[in-house]
Amino acid sequence: MAEIQLHNTLSGRVEPFVPQKPGEVRMYTCGPTVYDYAHIGNYRTFVFQDILRRFLRLRGYKLNHVMNLTDVDDRIIANAATAGKKIREYTEKFVQAFFDDCKTLSIEAPEHWIRATDHIGDMVQLIQRLQEKTFTYPGEGSIYYRIAKFPAYGKLSKIDLTGIQAGARVDNDRYEKESARDFALWKAPKPGEHFWETAIGPGRPGWHIECSAMAMKYLGETLDIHTGGVDLAFPHHENEIAQSEAATGKTFARYWLHAEHLLVEGEKMSKSLGNFFTLRDLFAKGYKPSALRLCLASTPYRRQLNFTFNGLQQATNTIERLRNFADRLKQGKFPAGEQEGMAARIARAAEEFDASLSDDLNTARSLAAVFDLVRDANIAMDKGEFRQGDVAETQQFLATFDKVFAVLEDNDAQKLQTLGFTSAQAGLRNEDIEKLIADHTAAKKKRDFATADRIRKELADRGIILEDAKDGSVRWKRK
Ligand code: AMP
Ligand code: ZN
């Protein structure tokens, strides 16, 4: 097996991955801020960390992985106050939607799924440690972090601190590099907004202290891997490093992995630009969860992903092809024995699959290894050359692929129903139905009944009934 190499934002280089404790990985992922429904840009990052997690597990590592839910921050406090709700009451709907979405996208549950509001005491203690070490100062009821006291400030995001005035402060959690200043660890309460009474006074935590406190509580003072989207490198992760390392004197996280953005028409998908799709938007248009997962996973995480419906349709077709191939293997009756060279061909694909993912999770290359093998094996089957003796090895390879990509199981219809889509709502567009019927007819003509049945079942699952007309054509109607 190839050595795993990962790009570390801290060093700016691809490095061999060696965890502190052999066989174990301590990993932290910044979870969603549950002030609204997450969009597919957010899920690009969550699918990336899932691929990483699954690949490490495939390679035999035991994971201790934490993902938090940021259920208190500037936006949540403001929205909850406007809605006249307690913050837990306000966020509950979005927390539930996030869990549902993760299940729908086959994002594995981490070992610890935790909420910021359950850890206010840990945050207060960490701020007290920073106070004792004089990294803090008070200002109008808030507590600020003095970045001038931490000479390594900027080492992750490589910002230039020369123009920054000592003592200048920023109160927002999110700000641009140009506004790098002393940031708030603890925020004074504002009238009508939620706050906690604590040993450091009334108020609420800043966003950055939340992740430092929670990560170290569950994973110890030094983590192996910390992940998030690229926009979190500054200020969030830079500030996490400043807080954690000032308190402990130890390296906070050894490898920092950042996923590039998902773009629509050249711009970052974001709530504020209004150019976003939620999962539910896409499912309502008839796309499948598995296709979206594959679409999000197939571009390597350090490349921007330009989201298009064409790309999503391609992923849909790919899933179809892969599942048909898996069915063909399961149902096919092949001549006994082994095809010459096929065992070596499968071994080569498996090696290439592993080598590509070891190469900083090059998902595009690893998928190419799978598609190439599927193409070769399909050709061999069409020619009657594929043998029964090669089935198990091929299935084994597909199973390995699916431990990481998790798209083979044909469970999209159930997932959509669990999300509350009726089959008609999750309905296919007319042109998709026509295309599937044409595929169904073609499969029947080729006497490929496995594929024909799969298509008929898929259509039925999505509420489409086929009727054979007298003239031999096929008509359809929605249930
Ligand atoms: P938030 O809920 O805003 O804290 O974001 C949750 C995660 O989604 C973070 O890791 C962000 O970096 C990431 N994220 C936000 N927008 C995008 C995008 N357009 N593409 C990829 N990741 C994103
Ligand atoms: Zn975080």
Q: Pick from 42, 174, 279, 303 the residue to mutate for probing ligand 1's pocket: most ligand atoms within 8 Å of its CB.
A: 42
Looking at all shown ligands, the one closest to residue 214's CA atom is: 2
Looking at all shown ligands, the one closest to residue 231's CA atom is: 1
How much is the pLDDT for 454?
82
- What count of Cα atoms within 13 Å lies in the side-chain half-sphere of residue 130? 32
Contact 164, 181 (CB under 8 A): yes
**Could you tell me the two tokens for 295?**
């679409």
Contact 157, 43 (CB under 8 A): no
Q: Pick from 45, 95, 256 the residue to mutate for probing ligand 1's pocket: most ligand atoms within 8 Å of its CB.
A: 45
The C-alpha torsion from 123 through 102 and 365 to 371, rounded to 10°, is 170
- C-alpha 191/C-alpha 193 separation (Å) is 6
Contact 140, 187 (CB under 8 A): no
> Minimal CA–CA distance to 292: which of 419, 395, 110, 453?
419
- C-alpha 412/C-alpha 418 separation (Å) is 10
**Could you tell me the two tokens for 462?**
């999505």
- C-alpha 351/C-alpha 313 separation (Å) is 29
Query: What's the gap in Å between 42 CA and the centre of ligand 1?
Result: 4
> What is the H or E stretch that residue 264 is in?
strand 262-264
What is the mean pLDDT for each group of 10 consecutive residues in the chain (479 residues)?
97 98 98 96 98 98 98 92 93 97 98 98 98 97 96 93 82 89 96 94 97 98 98 98 98 98 93 92 94 98 97 96 96 93 98 98 98 98 96 98 97 93 64 84 85 83 75 73
> Minimal CA–CA distance to 31: which of 117, 126, 124?
117
Residues with beta carbon inside 6 Å of ligand 1? Answer: 30, 32-33, 41-42, 44-45, 228-229, 231-232, 259, 261-262, 268-270
How much is the pLDDT for 476?
78
Closest ligand 1 atom to the C-alpha of 30?
10
How much is the pLDDT for 160?
82
- C-alpha 185/C-alpha 127 separation (Å) is 7
Closest ligand 1 atom to the C-alpha of 44?
21
How much is the pLDDT for 466?
82
The answer, yes or no, to whether the previous bond of 235 is cis (omega within 30 of 0) is: yes
How much is the pLDDT for 426?
54
